[in-house]
Amino acid sequence: MIGKGSYGSVFLATLKKPKTNFSHLPTVMAVKSAEVSASGSLQKEKEGEMIFNLLLEYASGGSLSDLIKKSVNRGLPESDVKRYTRSILRGLAHIHECGYVHCDLKPDNILLVPVSSKNSFKGFNYMAKIADFGLSKAVKQNKRGRWDIGLRGTPVYMAPETVLENIQGPQSDVWALGCVVFEMLTGKSIWG
């Protein structure tokens, strides 16, 4: 087991017979075993639970949180911060276009996946990918144009309107990204 969250566990798996019908899969993968609701939402609900195993690409770079800790309060190089921020913004745009809010964007939930590059150390660069959609929820605006989905996530990364008015929407994920960018640049949490 390489990880465990509130909605499932993640195991490292190796493809034993690469010359089979599964040759399009990478030889090393992460396998997530999780409970999923019958309603199809990203959040575990109390009705009709099923267990699913998902094959995911293995994030051998660890989490963004791990990388920030290694910086020992100095922060990451600006070029890395820009690259990771671009990746995260693309991911958030896709999530929001699909009508979802992540609700728990933080360095622990951003994984680093290697991508080939001729100009990087040991031939690899890392791309940031958003993970852990356990608290994500589909959102709709109410009559007053607000996003009502309740209070979810890690308090340190919550937007003021989430804490004060119990409102979360796409803008809440953008606030959380701002906190993450600050942490990448300084090596410290925005709230000390």
Q: What is the DSSP string of 32-88?
A: EEEEE-TT--SS--SSS-EEEEEEEE--TT-BHHHHHHHTTTS---HHHHHHHHHHH
DSSP per-residue letters across 108-176:
GGEEEEEEE-TTSGGGEEEEEEE---TT-EE--B-TTS-B-----S-GGG--HHHHHH----HHHHHHH
Cβ neighbours for 173, distance < 8 A, ≥ 6 positions apart = 92, 95, 96, 101, 102, 103, 105
Q: Which of 66, 80, 104, 148 is catalytic?
A: 104
**132 classed as catalytic:** no
- Would you list which residues are annotated within the binding site for ATP? 32
Buried b / exposed e across 35-69, counting CB within 10 Å, b at 16+?
Answer: ebeeeeebbeeeeeeeeeeeebebbebebbbebbe
Active-site positions read 104
